[in-house]
A and B are shown apart, each in its own frame.
Chain A
Amino acid sequence: MEGTELGWWGVLIAVIGGAIRVSTPYLFVSLGETLTEKSGRVNLGLEGVLVMGAMSGYATAVLTGQPWLGVLVAGCAGALLSLVHALVCSLPRVNDIAVGIALFIFGTGLAFFLGKPFINPSAPRLPDLDLGWWSDSPHIQSALQISPLFLFGFALALFLAWALKNTRWGLVLRTVGDSSEAAQALGYNITLVRIAGTVAGGFLAGVGGSYLSLYFPGTWNEGLSSGQGLMAVALVIFARWDPVRCFYASLLFGGATALGPALQSAGVTANYYLYGAAPYFLTLAVLIYSASPRKALEGAPGEVSISR
């Protein structure tokens, strides 16, 4: 078949490009959730935070014409929404997972409500960096058109991995998350640390949302997030609370998402629903393979209810 060879190259390029394009929201949300969970709380509501971030970022960009301002506003909106989670969970006998689900519903509801007027207008997109200048192929050039946010996320993953181990606040965060008794004995303000962890996590998730609305796919409507926020929270467990592994997991998930469309456009058109579910099959398989029945999850914060 003429053109098949180019076709398979096309698939590969599309998967690599797709991994980079699709992964960024997963990366930001999972980094945010890592921070939150390291402090000893689970915020299942980051899906709502992500959607709220996407909406507010888009709305800001539409109104001001400044996409970067949109990213900032998205982060702040995410932080604000997560602050609600943080404060409610600071009350005694309140289940953080349930509050997360409430935030999920409340956040998406509020974003849909406020976002109605912004579905039709087009917002300016975030610029991208051309890292494919060395290649003659327009396909490679386009696959390597990378958002600065992706690179920022990558740098952030490295930084967080280092900071959690080597800085004072990293140690405080981990202590509070691992054992509230130890933290209390050391005189840390547990509530405050957890609020900080949750709010910081919300900020990152909001930024992840603005990537969706302002860069890729770069639009705002109510179907924008197909569960990226929820899935990213799951990826944290998959990545064992390690920021660098979050990066790998996001790339893997993004690449698997891009596989279906890439194969279909190359003419492999049967079973597309199953290819579409590839990321989920893959994640489950890796989980089953890598989990261990005997020892507790390595890296799991001791206070987090989800890691039992």
Chain B
Amino acid sequence: MTRSTLSRRGFLKRGANVVAASVAASAVPGMVAAMGNVTVGFIYVGPRQDFGWNQSHWDAAQKIAAMDGITVVEQENVPETAEVEKVIQSMIELDGAKVIFGTSFGYWDSLKAMAEKYPDVLFTHIGAIWKEGDPTNVIGYRGYTEEAHYLCGIAAGRMSDTRKIGFIGSKPLYFIYNNANGFMLGARSVAPETTMNVVITGDWNNPVKEAETTNALIDQGCDVIIANVDSPKVAIETAEARGVYTCGYHSDLSSLAPNGFLTGAEWNWASGAEFVRAFVEDDPYPNLKRGGFREDMVALSPFGEAVPQEVRDEVMAAKQGFIDNSLQLYAGPIADNQGNVIVPEGEVRNNDDVPFKLGIDWFVEGTIG
């Protein structure tokens, strides 16, 4: 076993004692279990330091790594190809991983396939589309960020002078539509004459296009911008430089725009740690966990200085509405921007109406895009 002592010496030198030593030990298959340690594997689709989507999961990973008896191994930039399954297998077989976090939508099919192959391993996916018949060692979880966008929309509706707001989306997917609708419904709830321009860039991450889009939206008169892309930093800084308001996404971006930041829609992935704990302690865990503010699965960024107290109060009141279930996002009457009535007057589409939400491929009235 010269090799293992070698590795261990190499690692101990780094001084990151507990975590590193157990990783080194796992260089020898079988040693992980002997140390009573549980290894958790995180797979990211992009760089984990991206000031956005992947970093929101990295934050969660660091919290899980801080738990007792937990070792986290991470691999970034894993494309949604045949490689995913191999990375999962490699984590399980070479690192002894017992829990796998797949933090990209497109990993779903691979995670399901691997869950059937490794029934003792727990798999989590951030899409929350688990359904009856899928492997029971898979958890889908996801927050309703559209609620947080609704709150951003209230602030945007109150702060906009031009009554035009701008939404930058990455891909034409259901949650982007939901977020855009949330933003717009929030804005219209306080300023009914508001219109919203939506631009889909078509890329998860393309700073030049995002900056150019921000400029183009501002040229069209939009004075509040929110960007649903992997790293919204560029859009926010560009908007700040042009002196318009911005809202954040994924994590707290208030520091990027000291003058124009209103608030932002954030994830709260803390449930991941609960799943790990439940798994380790052999407690039951759900296969599906979805929620908004009520379930504490989304969060609101701190308000920027530009936001006056009465607007803050209004936003917080709406947040309380989501928490105590007195406020529903898709409450009729709601029409799409083609004039079709989607939710008639008096009807409400509940937050947990999954087929409805997954099927959203339209923008609400007043949206240009």
Contacts and interface: CB of A to CB of B under 8 A. Distances in A.
Q: Tell whether any CB of A sits under 8 Å from a CB of B in the complex.
A: yes
Given A265-B199, A267-B369, A221 B216 contact: no
Interface residues of A, number: 44
Interface in A10-61: 10-11, 13-14, 17-18, 21-22
Interface in B48-67: 49-51
Interface in A176-233: 212, 216-219, 221-224, 226, 228
Contacts of B47: 112, 116, 119, 221-222
A223 B207 contact: yes
Nearest to B199: A264
Contacts of A175: none
Contact of B231 (A11, A221, A261): A221
Given A265-B220, A267-B197, A272-B202, A219 B233 contact: yes
Given A142-B242, A217-B211, A267-B368, A14 B216 contact: yes
A264 B211 CA distance: 14
Given A265-B166, A276-B202, A219 B216 contact: no
Contacts of B216: 10-11, 14, 18, 258, 261-262, 264-266
Interface string B221-261: 11000000011011001100110000000000001100000
B207 A125 contact: no
A272 B200 contact: yes
Nearest to A112: B47
Interface string B182-217: 000000000000000111111111111111110111
A221 B51 contact: yes
What range describes how many residues of B lie at the interface?
35 or more
B219 interface: yes
Contacts of A267: 197, 368-369
A156 B213 CA distance: 29
Contacts of B255: 122
Contact of B241 (A125, A221, A273): A125
Given A14-B216, A226-B208, A265-B197, A219 B221 contact: no
B157 interface: no
Contacts of B208: 22, 212, 216-217, 224, 226, 228, 257
A124 to B, nearest CB: 11
Contacts of B206: 223, 226
Contacts of B209: 226, 257, 260-261, 276
Interface string B8-36: 00000000000000000000000000000
Nearest to A13: B219
A269 interface: yes
B215 A17 contact: yes
Nearest to A3: B221
B219 A216 contact: no
A240 interface: no
A7 interface: yes
A174 B166 CA distance: 51
B46 interface: yes
Interface string A135-175: 00001001100000000000000000000000000000000
A19 B177 CA distance: 30
B99 interface: no
B219 A139 contact: yes
B154 interface: no
Contact of B220 (A7, A122, A272): A7
B34 to A, nearest CB: 34
8 contacts: A3-B221, A6-B221, A7-B220, A11-B216, A18-B216, A22-B212, A261-B213, A264-B216
Interface of B: 46-47, 49-51, 166, 197-213, 215-222, 230-231, 233-234, 237-238, 241-242, 255-256, 368-369
